[in-house]
Amino acid sequence: MHLTPRENERLTIFTAAELARRRLARGAKLGAVEATALVCDEVLEWAWDGLSLEEVVSRAREIVRPESLLPGVAAAVPRIEVEALFPYGSTLVHIEAPFGPPGEVVRTPDSEIELAAGRERRELTVVNRGQRPLWISSHFPLEKANSALELDRELAAGCRLDIPAGASVEFPPGQPRTVSVVAR
């Protein structure tokens, strides 16, 4: 059997989600990986079933209760983003605080860290011509962004948004937004 990379990812998420379900069934607490996989698995299935984006996001926050998590997981996973296939096409589902508000803060050293040091940067104007807000995550190849986003794809080729890993930018419908992009 030959599987596409996307099918392989889907099966990996399903397997990790099944592990999470087994652990929850016996009363064990979840770590970040299996808790995230469980949320992603449910989101992907609800999208497949044709629920609205708003309903999927709303339900996603109720899948894993904070008391079912190991200490520090809610703080370690401030958001989840998963590309889901809805009946109208693929959409990046962005779930802020999927396990409730983080109860603890993870501190990093006070020194500044330059991200993507030495790489070429440029500005790019993006307009969402669709009817729903769209999100682009930190390392998504801009030239492959949703076709509802109007941008100079030739200029965007080989670039990603110039934001920290794991972050994303929202593009509300009809509002031009100039963003900094960086070579991948």
Does the pLDDT of residue 104 top 60, yes or no? no
Per-residue pLDDT of 150-169, as tens digits, reads: 999 999 999 999 987 767 89
Mean pLDDT across 39-49: 96
Rounded CA separation 146/87 (Å): 15
Does the pLDDT of residue 106 top 50, yes or no? no
Q: Would you state the structure tokens that stand for residue 76, as one six-digit string? A: 């370690």
Helix-strand-coil split of the chain, %, nearest 5: 35, 25, 40
Does residue 162 sit in helix, strand or coil? coil
Backbone angles phi, psi at 65, to 5 degrees: -80, 145
Rounded CA separation 18/73 (Å): 18
Give the DSSP H/E element, type plus range, for residue 59: helix 53-60
Tell me the pTM.
0.59
Task: Write down the pLDDT at residue 50.
Answer: 95
